[in-house]
Amino acid sequence: MNEVNFTFRRYKDNDSAHLKWNKDVIESGESYLCPTYVHRTPPCQASCPSGHDIRGWLLIVRGLDKPPKGMQWEEYAFRRMTEANPFPAIMGRVCPAPCQDGCNRNEVENHVGINSIEQYIGDWARENNLTFPKPAHETGKKLAIVGGGPAGLAAAYFMRCRGHSCTIFEEYNALGGMMCFGIPGYRVPRDVLEHEIKRILDMGVEVKLNTRVGTDVTIEQLEKEYDAIFWGIGATSGKALPIPGADAPNCVDGMAFLRAFNEGRLQHLSGRILVVGGGDTAMDVAAVARRIGHISHSHEKDRPENVILGHTVHDIASAARRQGADVWIVYRRPISKAPATKHELEAIISEGVEIHESLAPLEVIRGEDGRATALRVMPVDWVNGKMVPREGQEFNIECTMIVGATGQNGDYTGIEELDNGRGQIGSDKTYQVVSKPGHFVGGDAVKPHLLTTAIGHAFIAVESMDHYLMGKEISVRPKVDVHHFSLLQELQAHNLQPDEYDHQETWGTGCSNFAVHNYEERSSSEVIHSERLFLGHFSYEPLHPREEVKITSEQVLGNFKERFIGLTEKPAIAEANRCMSCGMCFECKNCITYCPQNAVFRVKNDQHVMGRYVDTDYAKCVGCHICKDVCPTGYIQMGLL
């Protein structure tokens, strides 16, 4: 029997404790409580590491939040979107979308396709050459940004928005970090990446490529020349496998493998490739290995490890004779427990990668020349989350290369003082570097995670830096730390802001104009979950997915086309219409329609803004709670007058 999800479930079976008697007491259809409008953060936004105002720009896509006169809705949505994340076309493609996991629509049938709408808007902005405005004024403050990856570039963007000047120091010959060197080009098209980076640089960001801080420039020099320093150095070195023999020359880390491929040096492989790990880096390595294929005979200088280690470059002519590579994923847990994005795992399986799960690596078997010839493994069982080895069942898996993708570290050569002993930079909750005033950090240098996490770190760090640079106290971060919708800003945008309060004794405040009445702001402290919604309002409507190009094992060799074909305008709008606008009015009129006293009414057109669609005549309201019960988004809550 299928479990029933009740719209409102006050008690569970065998509950004996009652709710507080004074919470929802209604006698003869009346109570002393009347509706108030409470804004809370939706779970999609709370689940997004960069704190996107997802609901906000989806309301724009739906046509509920209108753009200023003369502006197309796509641009209006782009402007709202990039308040939190300056890379919509990239994130719409590669972000594993934890926002969709948090989406309350999952309680009805399936999440909203947030990333596909984000990609549509990002691609529209690129095709229409939208730019970021240069700051209206310059503060005269100078910021050094170490690392030109997602964290560093995002920090530059957010700092330029505030009028501070920025210089990025990047040790490689191009910007982008993991977006450029760590993720394959068929997932992050290089023209898209270059456009979104250029948009940031055009705000007036100085860049110094091929310049490593700690070698070419010292920390002391930066401290002398700049007012603050942001460290976005990432975690660009893969961790070595913690087993004997892992120092064999053909045992390489996943980050070095992907960098060699993305730089165009690695053209082919040979023999069987073992990829150890179950994360997204492991999936990318396996997918790339299948695409570049292998050749049967290669000279010693053409051995893949020599290319990955930078000793040589593959000859494209010889790579033309390749065949599909034999690629295995070796993972010590059941593959269902792998942290990799589900779609990426399913994709590599369809592309011909073999999965060998519940195998614990024990030792790299080496030949007389010191090169790895096999990986010795032991089958294991997992009982209550603990690994139970099957002693005596060890065996060898023959191979010509082992790629470890089990974690990442930072490179602290020349900046050892920043290493906290774990290959990271220690920071507090505002991303100030511990015991180093004026130094801030974000991204994988704090903890390796998603690209969008690095961008979220950068925003918080920049807010802290801005306070530091302007001599203000760095404030405590809110409990729900995201880019919050502001009703006051919305009112100001329509010239409807409250009057100035003269702080004199006042009577009749209920009709005064110096405050926003009948509204409570709780988004910085509360996330609205599905039990507060009237789910019965929403009918079943299937997801409008992006078209996916299915690649089989026979088609994968040399196939570097994008897997997803982006949405066009019509399906993007249709998909946005599936959003339930959790915690914010989406103008459904239920409260007006079902109010038996005609106490709830629509505000006048010239007073209407997002979040102020209805009001209540308290002289008519009897506190029957009906408006609250039929509010699909949980925006109405009964409270005292």
In three-state secondary structure terms, 284 is: helix
Angstrom distance (rounded) from CA 392 to CA 81: 56
- Say if residue 94's pLDDT is above 90: yes
268-282, 286-300, 462-476, 517-531: least confident range:
286-300
Residue range 423-439: average pLDDT? 94
pLDDT value at residue 560: 85
- Say if residue 385's pLDDT is above 90: no
Identical fold between 142-236+410-469 and 245-409? yes
Angstrom distance (rounded) from CA 48 to CA 450: 10
Mean pLDDT of the chain: 90
Which DSSP state fits 24?
A: S
- Say if residue 182's pLDDT is above 70: yes
In three-state secondary structure terms, 543 is: coil
Nearest residue to 359 via CA among 441, 275, 293: 275
Q: What is the strand order of the sheet 34-39 is part of? A: 519-521, 34-39, 636-639
pLDDT value at residue 47: 96
pLDDT band at 268 (very low <50, low <70, confident <90, very high): confident
Angstrom distance (rounded) from CA 454 to CA 476: 20
Angstrom distance (rounded) from CA 219 to CA 172: 18
Angstrom distance (rounded) from CA 41 to CA 114: 16
In three-state secondary structure terms, 289 is: helix
Residue range 206-214: average pLDDT? 97
Angstrom distance (rounded) from CA 247 to CA 268: 22
Could you tell me if 200 and 236 are in contact, meaning their C-beta atoms sit under 8 angstroms apart? no
pLDDT value at residue 330: 97
Angstrom distance (rounded) from CA 195 to CA 192: 5
* % residues pLDDT > 70 (the chain): 91
The ranges assigned to domains in the chain are 142-236+410-469, 245-409
pLDDT band at 26 (very low <50, low <70, confident <90, very high): low
The Cα-based distances of 258 to 214, 246, 327, 344 in angstroms read 25, 19, 15, 16
Q: Which phi and psi angles does 574 have, rounded to 5°?
A: -60, -40
- Say if residue 307's pLDDT is above 70: no
Q: Which residues contact 100 (CB under 8 A, 6 or more apart)?
A: 44, 111, 112, 113, 114, 115
> Quick one: which H or E segment has residue 262?
helix 254-262
Which DSSP state fits 104?
A: G
- Say if residue 497's pLDDT is above 90: no
Nearest residue to 269 via CA among 230, 232, 298, 311: 298
Tokens of 561: 């086309």
Q: Regarding predicted confidence, which is higher, 570 or 495?
A: 570
pLDDT value at residue 556: 87
Tokens of 528: 């609205």
Please give the single-letter amino acid code of residue 524: S
Q: Which residues contact 556 (CB under 8 A, 6 or more apart)?
A: 290, 291, 324, 351, 352
Catalogue the E-assigned strands of 546-627: 547-548, 564-565, 600-602, 614-616
Angstrom distance (rounded) from CA 322 to CA 298: 11
Q: Regarding predicted confidence, which is higher, 165 or 515?
A: 165
- Say if residue 210's pLDDT is above 60: yes
Q: Which residues contact 7 (CB under 8 A, 6 or more apart)?
A: 533, 534, 535, 536
pLDDT value at residue 1: 40
Nearest residue to 562 via CA among 570, 573, 552, 551: 551
Return the number of other C-beta atoms located less than 10 Å from residue 28's C-beta: 7
3-12, 57-66, 267-276, 623-632: least confident range:
3-12
Which DSSP state fits 88?
A: H
Tokens of 171: 């040790």
Residue 578 β-bridge partners: none
In three-state secondary structure terms, 354 is: strand
Angstrom distance (rounded) from CA 492 to CA 584: 18
Residue 474 β-bridge partners: none
The angle at the Cα of 437, spanning 434 to 439, to the nearest 5 degrees, equals 75
Secondary structure (DSSP) of 380-428: EEEETTEEEE-TT--EEEE-SEEEE-S-EE---TT-GGGB-SSSSB-B-
Angstrom distance (rounded) from CA 7 to CA 448: 39
- Say if residue 244's pLDDT is above 60: yes
Angstrom distance (rounded) from CA 281 to CA 404: 10
pLDDT value at residue 518: 83
Provide CATH code, domain 245-409.
Answer: 3.50.50.60
pLDDT band at 10 (very low <50, low <70, confident <90, very high): low
Angstrom distance (rounded) from CA 253 to CA 285: 10
pLDDT tens by residue, 433-490: 999 999 999 999 999 899 999 999 999 999 999 999 999 999 899 999 999 999 888 8
The Cα-based distances of 391 to 73, 241, 383, 561 in angstroms read 63, 21, 15, 45
Question: What pTM was estimated for this model as a whole?
Answer: 0.90
Which DSSP state fits 598?
A: S
Angstrom distance (rounded) from CA 431 to CA 458: 9
Please give the single-letter amino acid code of residue 610: M
- Say if residue 24's pLDDT is above 70: no
211-215, 311-315, 516-520, 522-526: least confident range:
311-315
pLDDT value at residue 270: 83
Pick one of 3.40.190.80, 3.50.50.60, 3.40.1710.10, 3.40.50.720 as the CATH number of 142-236+410-469: 3.50.50.60
With 0-12 / 13-18 / 19 or more C-beta atoms within 10 angstroms meaning exposed / middle / buried, residue 140 is exposed
pLDDT value at residue 220: 96
pLDDT value at residue 317: 47
Residue range 400-424: average pLDDT? 92
